[in-house]
């Protein structure tokens, strides 16, 4: 029997759930990647993410070559391409790991329907996260909307689950009559025109990064994770996004590191708890697909966002006159990645200081992040805007100057990304009056934080009151 594994956000051969299932039932197989129109929808997709994806695909293809197999890449909608290929190659089993977004779910349903209609079998598994939304329920059977109880329930479930690797030791062979398959023209064109990614793609690169992180930085992760000036976090987000490393492997190897050396315990615990944020936002999206369209908390539907185009442009260009904000945006534009603390600061600044709709920031991030992930991106933005499930309260507004002083104390991060401020003394970087005089080509702050804080508090309060009145039918 012949099988086809449709690779999506699981670009690896190791510890891949649906692929392991396929290996158990077929004698011959090959891998497939579908370059769907949505994936290459420039400019709504990050070119850096696309370039990282192509590097991951090259790596996967090389790994398949090494075991005498092939990765077939086709372009077009999966709903038509997959049944056609299965028919052409007499393949009777399709496997894939399921997606979370409403788009992925509905596309998958169409693919399953047409493959099953043709009399073939589909093997579908959960692989991208350890637990899906349905796995983590309160004692009353309801889904969690607050992180801490979710995390506690998550760990309880994890401790009761079997984590042994179920990958079969025997791999089926390649499809003998596969013959030459043309590389889609669009893939060749894009590859020739994209710049090389700032982060190395592929399974080996992910494993190397994990080893390096678990070798030392993780032991200080609980202390350093908020410091953008240090290399204190794993930078595995883009690998987890494309599945070049398995989330189960990350847990397993980190727990082994903590077991081997007790000094690693606090750092590892904190790191794994961060990975559970990823599971949490994934579950929130699964349970509430509507979050992709608007506020989770309906009371904030009454917010009157100012959406000042000049403010938004200044933010997008990293020219707000707030050095920590500008450094973050410039890091994103230059590398396709931004430190988590800085993501929180720039998102708070856009939504609270500039009273700009979080959906604009969410889209901008998605257009630039290599790790751009609908669930985590939406969760992060709604958290910062105080409109989400487990959001920061609306009255807690980040002060960019204080954040900058606390988390980038020597100003190294700012100086690295804001060229105009490269020679500025640290005492000038964290204060509005000094920052303005720093360099003739660096902008003065576009707003006054104290005034904007007051305006945001008033607007959030007004929106809540309007909502209460509407609820009471006033
Ligand atoms: C406004 C905003 C937007 C964000 N958008 C994304 C996004 O599109 N994709 C994305 O992967 N993360 C997103 N995050 C979460 C977080 O910023 C990144 O996961 C993290 O910075 C990646 O760096 P790292 O791999 O070094 O993380 P580490 O600190 O090493 O953490 C390990 C892993 O845990 C997960 N993680 C950590 N923090 C979070 C979090 N708050 N939410 C969800 N997962 C988390 C990530 O998979 C990360 O790789 C966003 C956060 C905010 C505030």
pLDDT tens per residue, range 230-281:
999 999 999 999 999 999 999 999 999 999 988 899 999 999 999 999 999 9
Is 278 close to ligand 1, i.e. is its CB under 6 Å away? yes
Which region holds residue 76: left if phi is over 0, alpha if psi is between -120 and 50, else beta?
Answer: left
Low-confidence winner among 31-45, 76-90, 336-350 (lowest mean pLDDT): 31-45
Helix axes 374-384, 265-287, angle to 10 degrees: 100
Ligand 1 pocket, 348 CB below 6 A? Answer: no
User: Is residue 33 a contact partner of residue 25, using CB atoms and an 8 Å limit?
Assistant: no
8 A C-beta contact, residue 394 and residue 407: no
Question: Which secondary-structure segment (H or E) carries 78?
Answer: helix 78-88
- Which pairs count as long-range contacts for 150-159, CB under 8 Å and 24+ apart, including other chains? 150/276, 150/280, 150/283, 151/273, 151/276, 151/280, 154/276, 154/279, 154/280, 155/276, 157/131, 158/130, 158/131, 158/251
Q: Please, what is the Cα angle at 360 between 390 and 302, to 5 degrees?
A: 60
Rounded-to-integer distance, Cα 32 and Cα 3, Å: 10
**pLDDT value for 106:** 95
Q: At what angle do helices 265-287 and 147-160 cross, to 10 degrees?
A: 110
Instruction: Please give the structure tokens belonging to residue 112.
Output: 């399953």
List 6, 154, 271, 277, catalytic entry:
277
Lowest mean pLDDT among 46-50, 177-181, 219-223: 177-181
* Residue 64 in tokens: 């398949």
Longest dimension (CA), the chain: 73
> What would the mean pLDDT of 212-233 be, rounded to a whole number?
96
Mean pLDDT calculated for residue range 316-327: 97
Atom of ligand 1 lying closest to residue 241 CA: 11
Please state the rounded mean pLDDT for residues 103-124: 96
Spot the catalytic one: 154, 337, 381, 417. Answer: 381
Residue nearest to atom 33 of ligand 1 (CA): 275
Mean pLDDT, the chain, as a whole number? 94
Ligand 1 centre from 376 Cα, in Å? 7
The CA–CA distances, whole Å, from 119 to 19, 92, 114, 116 equal 20, 8, 9, 5
Q: Decide if 148 contacts 296 (C-beta within 8 A).
A: no
Active site residue 279: no
Tell me whether residue 358 is one of the annotated catalytic residues: yes
CA 299 to chain centre: 27
| 41 contacts: CB under 8 Å, gap ≥ 6 | none
Asked if 268 contacts 227 with a C-beta cutoff of 8 angstroms, the reply is no
Around Cβ 268, how many Cβ atoms within 10 Å? 24
β-strand pairing of 2-7 with 93-97: parallel
| pLDDT tens profile 343-397 | 999 999 999 999 999 999 999 999 999 999 999 999 999 999 999 998 789 888 9
The second-level CATH assignment, the architecture, of 129-164+202-287 is Alpha Horseshoe (1.25)
**Which range, of 46-50, 184-188, 218-222, 395-399, averages the lowest pLDDT?**
184-188
Ligand 1 atom closest to Cα of residue 381:
1
| Rounded-to-integer distance, Cα 14 and Cα 249, Å | 9
Q: Is the CB of 371 under 6 A from ligand 1?
A: yes
- Which pLDDT score, from 0 to 100, does residue 434 have? 67
Task: Compute the average pLDDT of residues 406-434.
Answer: 91
User: In this predicted model, which residue has the larger pLDDT, 190 or 252?
Assistant: 252
Secondary structure of residue 34 in the 3-state scheme: strand
Catalytic site residue from 305, 399, 405, 420: 305
Q: Is the CB of 274 under 6 A from ligand 1?
A: yes
If you take atom 2 of ligand 1, which residue's CA is the nearest one?
Answer: 380
- Please give the C-alpha separations between residue 467 and each of 303, 357, 385, 396, 457, in angstroms, as whole numbers: 10, 18, 17, 20, 15
CATH level 3 topology of 298-471: DNA Cyclobutane Dipyrimidine Photolyase, subunit A; domain 3 (1.10.579)
CA of 237 to the centre of ligand 1 (A): 6
Residue 431: pLDDT band (50, 70, 90) is confident
pLDDT reported for residue 190: 84
Mean pLDDT of 291-318: 97
Whether 211 is catalytic is no
pLDDT at 436: 59
Q: Whose CA is nearest to atom 48 of ligand 1?
A: 237
**Active-site annotation holds for 340:** yes
pLDDT at 14: 94
Which residues, including other chains, have CB under 8 Å from residue 336's CB and lie 6 or more apart? 46, 48, 49, 52, 197, 198, 199, 238, 368, 369, 370
Which CATH entry fits the domain spanning 1-127: 2.60.40.10, 3.40.50.740, 3.40.50.620, 3.30.70.60?
3.40.50.620
Q: Is 305 a catalytic residue?
A: yes
Q: Is 347 in the pocket of ligand 1 (CB under 6 A)?
A: yes
Q: Which sequence spans correspond to the domains of the chain?
A: 1-127, 129-164+202-287, 298-471
Alpha-carbon span 366 to 48, nearest angstrom: 11
Cα-to-centroid distance, 309 and ligand 1 (Å): 28
Best substitution site from 100, 337, 376, 379 to test ligand 1's pocket, by max atoms within 8 Å of Cβ? 376
Q: Is there an atom of ligand 1 within 6 Å of 336 CB?
A: no
Clarify whether 378 is annotated catalytic.
no
Compute, in angstroms, the gap from residue 411 CA to the centroid of ligand 1: 23
Q: Which among 380, 388, 385, 402 has a CA at the least distance from the CA of 449?
A: 402
Three-state SS for 307? coil
At residue 435 the predicted structure's pLDDT band, cuts being 50, 70 and 90, is low
């Amino acid at each position: 029997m012949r099988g086809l594994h449709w690779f999506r956000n699981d670009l690896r051969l190791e510890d891949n759930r649906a692929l392991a299932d396929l290996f158990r039932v077929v004698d011959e197989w090959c891998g497939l990647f579908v370059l769907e129109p949505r994936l290459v929808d420039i400019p709504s997709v990050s070119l850096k993410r696309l370039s990282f994806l192509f590097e991951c695909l090259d790596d996967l293809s090389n790994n398949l070559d090494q075991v005498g197999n092939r990765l077939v890449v086709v372009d077009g909608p999966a709903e038509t391409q997959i049944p056609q290929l299965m028919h052409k190659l007499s393949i009777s089993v399709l496997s894939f790991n399921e997606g979370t977004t409403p788009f992925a779910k509905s596309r998958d349903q169409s693919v399953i329907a047409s493959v099953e209609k043709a009399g073939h079998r589909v093997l579908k598994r959960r692989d991208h996260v350890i637990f899906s939304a349905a796995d983590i329920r309160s004692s009353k059977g309801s889904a969690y909307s607050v992180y801490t109880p979710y995390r506690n329930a998550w760990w309880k479930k994890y401790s009761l689950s079997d984590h042994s690797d179920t990958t079969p030791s025997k791999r089926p062979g390649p499809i003998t009559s596969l013959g030459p398959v043309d590389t889609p023209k669009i893939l060749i064109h894009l590859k020739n025109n994209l710049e090389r990614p700032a982060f190395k793609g592929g399974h080996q690169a992910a494993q190397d990064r994990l080893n390096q992180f678990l070798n030392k930085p993780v032991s200080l992760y609980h202390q350093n994770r908020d410091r953008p000036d240090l290399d204190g976090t794993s930078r595995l987000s883009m690998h987890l996004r494309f599945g070049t490393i398995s989330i189960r492997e990350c847990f397993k190897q980190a727990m082994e590191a903590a077991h081997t050396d007790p000094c690693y315990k606090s750092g590892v615990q904190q790191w794994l708890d961060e990975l559970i944020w990823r599971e949490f936002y994934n579950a929130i999206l699964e349970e509430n697909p509507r979050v992709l369209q608007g506020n989770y908390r309906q009371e904030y539907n009454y917010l009157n966002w100012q959406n000042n185009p000049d403010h938004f442009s200044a933010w997008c260009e990293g020219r707000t006159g707030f050095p920590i904000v500008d450094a973050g945006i410039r890091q994103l534009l230059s590398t396709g990645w931004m430190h988590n603390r800085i993501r929180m600061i720039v998102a708070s600044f856009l939504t609270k200081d500039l009273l700009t709709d979080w959906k604009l920031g969410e889209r901008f991030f998605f257009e630039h992040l290599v790790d751009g992930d609908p669930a985590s991106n939406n969760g992060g933005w709604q958290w910062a805007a105080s409109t989400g499930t487990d959001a920061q309260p609306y009255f807690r507004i980040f002060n960019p100057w204080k954040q900058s002083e606390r988390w980038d104390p020597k100003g190294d991060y700012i100086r690295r990304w804001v060229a105009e401020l490269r020679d500025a003394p640290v005492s000038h970087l964290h204060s509005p009056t000094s920052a303005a005089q720093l360099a003739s080509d660096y902008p003065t702050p576009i707003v006054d934080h104290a005034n904007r804080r007051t305006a945001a508090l008033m607007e959030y309060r007004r929106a809540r009151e309007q909502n209460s009145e509407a609820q009471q039918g006033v």
